[in-house]
Amino acid sequence: MKRHILTNDRDAACDTLTVVVAAHDEAHALPLVHPRIRAALDAVPGLDGRVLYVDDGSHDGTWEVMQQLAGEDPRVALLRLSRNFGKEAALTAGLDFVEEGAALILDADGQDPPELIPRFVELWRQGHDDVYGTRLARDGESWLKRVTASLFYRVIGRLSKTPIPADTGDFRLLSPRALAALRQLRERHRFMKGLFGWVGFRRVALPYHRGPRVAGASKFGLWRLWNFALEGITSFSSAPLRVATYLGLLTAGLSFGFALWVVGKAALYGDRVAGWPTMMTVILFLGGVQLIALGLIGEYLGRLYEEAKQRPLYLVDTWRAPAVADSAGPTGTGGDRHHADRSGFVAGQGP
């Protein structure tokens, strides 16, 4: 049996960190955010700070901007996916390509302040594996988004056995062993908040103020957020299926009572043909309940279907390693193992 024991790296030097940034159409935001990331990394003593930008199928010149940043800064690595795979897949790709050390996930739009990086590293160096940013304020977000978000966290907190802290996004630092653990989860429907929670280890929250975007517009409208919520609930809980069972039991019980009443009435008073409205009501009601249950089963079946296809999570168009790491070469067996993990995901290497 394969045992998954990941050793604590607390005694390790904690000296290498890669900031992973997934970007989709962020050509205007990246030049504003990159200097802030650089400055924050430079502010941490004894840290080999690197940045990995993932271009998630952008159409607005984001890739050109990234190439320029990498040209000016040898610590920048670039990954370009073959098309837009969505933020979760882009992040997965980025985390797969982190060569060594810890990883820190950051949004490209400046909503997660890079200035907090030293605080994250400090908590990591104190022995935490998963340092996650928790939002204190949601400036620049609508009333509706705030209410639905809080409702979502309450529902999923009830339904899921995996701890998913409220108001926590993807802004977090993962220690090497937490990163290695996350890399083992290759499910297609990737609800990252849940996956991070599933990994466990020593976790600590870092409260922060989430500001508005520095440029561009959000890619997550209400419809996309709704689907995201469904994704989270169905990925981390099968409670809705159980609800269908109870709903079925309840209607079956009510129907039985109703049947007794109908039969008893017919026996006592004879059966005059009447009751068309009741019959219609019952038929429509049962039809509705059955459709709801079928829809619920369908949700899970669809996910099973996606998993069964075993497609790669993303395809890579171009990988450009950081110039600094290039000269050093792959890092022993650890590096080789990560390459092995990624095999099959790299469709073609660019220049």
Residue numbers at the binding site for ligand UDP (CB under 6 A): 22-24, 26, 56, 84, 86-87, 90, 107-109, 111, 218-220
Nearest to 206 by CA among 88, 138, 121, 110: 121
Write the DSSP assignment of 26-62 as a string of letters: -TTTHHHHHHHHHHHHHTSTT-EEEEEEEE-S-SSSH
Rounded Cα–Cα distance for residues 316 and 234 (Å):
28
- Chain residues 44-63 in contact with Mg ion, contact rule CB under 5 A: none
Comparing CB distances to ligand UDP, the nearer of 90 and 104 is 90
Residue 235 lies near Mg ion (rule: CB under 5 A): no
Residue 25 lies near Mg ion (rule: CB under 5 A): no
Cβ at position 216, least distance to ligand UDP in Å: 8
Cβ at position 323, least distance to Mg ion in Å: 29
For 270, the 3-state DSSP assignment is coil
Comparing CB distances to ligand UDP, the nearer of 22 and 179 is 22
Rounded Cα–Cα distance for residues 50 and 18 (Å):
5
Comparing CB distances to ligand UDP, the nearer of 99 and 107 is 107
- Interface pick for Mg ion out of 62, 111, 160, 251 (rule CB under 5 A): 111
Residue 109 lies near Mg ion (rule: CB under 5 A): yes
Distance in Å from the first CA to the final CA of the chain: 41
Cβ at position 230, least distance to ligand UDP in Å: 16
Backbone phi, psi, residue 98, to 5°: -75, 120
Q: What residue 86 binds from ligand UDP, Mg ion, none (CB within 5 to 8 A, per partner kind)?
A: ligand UDP
Contacts 24+ apart (CB under 8 A), 348-351: 348/316, 348/317, 349/316, 349/318, 349/319, 350/80, 350/317, 350/318, 350/319, 350/320, 351/318
Q: What residue 237 binds from ligand UDP, Mg ion, none (CB within 5 to 8 A, per partner kind)?
A: none
Contact 234, 240 (CB under 8 A): yes
Comparing CB distances to ligand UDP, the nearer of 22 and 104 is 22
Q: What residue 24 binds from ligand UDP, Mg ion, none (CB within 5 to 8 A, per partner kind)?
A: ligand UDP
Comparing CB distances to ligand UDP, the nearer of 47 and 81 is 81
Q: What residue 26 binds from Mg ion, ligand UDP, none (CB within 5 to 8 A, per partner kind)?
A: ligand UDP
Contact 19, 52 (CB under 8 A): yes
Q: Which residues bind Mg ion (CB under 5 A)?
A: 109, 111
